[in-house]
């Protein structure tokens, strides 16, 4: 069916326009009431413009070449229209504009932000089933970062996925580290979220080549902050007259002695505490972040905290074990607590999990495989990042090695031989 078609050249007043200066000339391409406006990259003074003709005043000799340029542009528009008809493509303003600026015309063009947004919509529907609220939030932030990057770098709100390449990723990495001021590992986390969207495109057959091919996604080692036994005792023995600080201290200490993350403690219910295989109380739950089961025998210190709030917690908290503030407030109050207790470390709630993995368990001889199970990790490799082996543990292990070597017959005689020999240099 024949579509209505229109082409108009007109002056467009810019914000910075000053009287006496030229206005930008745009052409408006209209097809069935839908239109796009394209800059001609030319300007003309309003007094020398013929709005009816859509050209500069022909009486001026200097504007004849100028008008010839506009005639050429008009001819290109009609050629683009003719080409679309020959290719049996939809004749619409966007396709005409794409041909004019040198883009491929593809009605099945896949746009990055649309795919990303659709992915997030599906993820939102699965929160609580396959994904945690925290994971959902990270992808929402990643979506906003990607949009901000496109606007900053390319002045656009979406991009064809076929234009994703190694250079795009390097520019995105640069933007995250400079404009967003993310550290290296945080940058890699956002790029890893973005990579999931790219993988969807590859597996769906929309992308033939992986833009991440050859792109270095390695994270840098991080020295995890943990509390020592002395610092743990300083927190545990301090009397707080301010109720909010006392609550935050108690909940934090519970994580130090159980290994539960913030979200897991916030969701912990009394029904999650059961009698284990040894007849003692255990926590049996699924980690909020990974949905991996965690089975944790409760230490006496953790049991004492549970008992304390069993008596004090109002009925309005229902089956919950502890009154837990927002993560943001918990972290803010922990900094107050650190100052009061003389702990010269920047306390965040996740330090409790690190402390459980190191100071409370590994450095007291609990095997890393057992710690991994209690933390609810999918693999031992994840636990190794959390469980930093302390000097005390290294010393104890080496002392055990020395004892084993001393039991061997060759070891004492070797030591004796070296003691009896004397070496002299001439």
- Both structure tokens of 345: 């470390």
pLDDT per residue rounded down to tens, the chain (426 residues): 557 899 999 998 877 777 777 889 999 999 988 899 999 988 888 888 889 989 988 676 677 888 999 999 999 999 988 888 887 778 888 888 888 877 666 656 789 999 999 999 999 999 888 888 888 999 999 999 999 999 999 999 999 998 999 999 999 999 999 999 999 999 999 999 999 999 999 999 999 899 999 999 998 887 778 899 999 999 999 999 999 999 999 999 999 999 999 999 999 999 999 999 999 999 998 887 777 888 899 999 999 999 998 877 777 678 899 999 999 999 999 999 999 999 999 999 999 999 999 889 988 888 888 988 898 887 887 777 765 555 656 676 778 778 777 776 555 544 444 444 444 444
- CA 207, distance to chain mean position in Å, is 23
pLDDT at 33: 87
Q: How many residues can be counted in the chain?
A: 426
For residue 387, the model assigns a pLDDT of 57
* Alpha carbon distance 18, 12 (integer Å): 13
- Given phi > 0 = left and psi -120 to 50 = alpha, else beta, which region is 41? left
Separation of alpha carbons 90 and 81, rounded Å: 9
8 A C-beta contact, residue 226 and residue 256? no
Task: Note the CATH number of domain 112-203.
Answer: 1.10.150
Model pLDDT, residue 419: 47
Q: What confidence score (pLDDT) does residue 291 get?
A: 75
pLDDT value of position 2: 59
Does this model's pTM top 0.85? My answer is no
**Secondary structure of residue 95 in the 3-state scheme:** helix
Q: Which CATH architecture best describes the domain 229-392?
A: Orthogonal Bundle (1.10)
pLDDT recorded at residue 164: 95
DSSP, residue by residue, 155-217: S-S--BGGG--HHHHHHHHHHHHHTS---HHHHHHHHHHHHHHHHHHHHTTS-SS-TTTT---
User: Domains of the chain: which residue ranges?
Assistant: 5-100, 112-203, 229-392
Residues 6+ apart with CB under 8 A from 35: 6, 28, 29, 93
Q: Can you give the pLDDT at residue 310? A: 85
């Amino acid at each position: 069916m024949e579509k209505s078609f229109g082409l108009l050249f007109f002056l467009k007043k810019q914000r910075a326009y000053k009287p006496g200066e030229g206005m930008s000339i745009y052409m408006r391409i209209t097809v069935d009431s839908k239109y796009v406006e394209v800059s001609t990259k030319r300007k003309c003074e309003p007094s020398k413009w013929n709005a009816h003709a859509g050209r500069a005043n022909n009486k001026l000799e200097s504007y004849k070449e100028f008008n010839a340029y506009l005639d050429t542009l008009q001819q290109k528009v009609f050629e683009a229209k003719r080409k679309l008809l020959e290719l049996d493509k939809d004749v619409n303003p966007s396709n005409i504009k794409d041909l004019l600026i040198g883009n491929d015309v593809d009605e099945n063009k896949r746009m990055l932000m649309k795919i990303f947004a659709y992915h997030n919509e599906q993820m939102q529907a699965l929160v609580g089933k396959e994904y945690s609220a925290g994971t959902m939030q990270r992808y929402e932030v990643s979506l906003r970062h990607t949009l901000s990057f496109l606007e900053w770098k390319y002045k656009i709100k979406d991009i064809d996925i076929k234009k994703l390449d190694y250079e795009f990723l390097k520019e995105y990495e640069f933007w995250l580290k400079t404009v967003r001021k993310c550290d290296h590992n945080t940058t890699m986390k956002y790029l890893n979220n973005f990579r999931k969207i790219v993988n969807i495109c590859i597996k769906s057959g929309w992308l033939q080549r992986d833009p991440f091919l050859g792109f270095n996604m390695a994270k840098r080692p991080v020295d995890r902050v943990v509390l020592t036994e002395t610092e743990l005792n300083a927190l545990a023995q301090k009397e707080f007259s301010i109720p909010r600080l006392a609550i935050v201290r108690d909940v934090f200490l519970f994580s130090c002695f159980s290994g539960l993350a913030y979200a897991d403690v916030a969701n912990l219910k009394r029904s999650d505490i059961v009698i284990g295989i040894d007849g003692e109380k255990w926590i049996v739950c699924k980690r909020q972040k990974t949905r991996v089961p965690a089975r944790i025998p409760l230490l006496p210190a953790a049991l004492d905290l549970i008992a304390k709030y069993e008596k004090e917690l109002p009925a309005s908290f229902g089956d919950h074990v502890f009154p837990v503030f927002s993560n943001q407030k918990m972290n803010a109050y922990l900094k107050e607590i650190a100052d009061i207790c003389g702990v010269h470390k920047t306390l965040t709630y996740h330090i409790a999990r690190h402390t459980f993995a190191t100071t409370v368990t590994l450095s007291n001889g609990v095997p890393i495989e057992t710690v991994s199970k209690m933390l609810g990790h999918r693999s031992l490799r994840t636990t190794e990042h959390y469980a930093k082996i302390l000097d005390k543990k290294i010393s104890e292990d080496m002392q055990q090695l020395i004892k084993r070597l001393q039991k061997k017959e060759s070891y004492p005689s070797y030591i004796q031989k070296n003691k009896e020999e004397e070496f002299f240099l001439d």
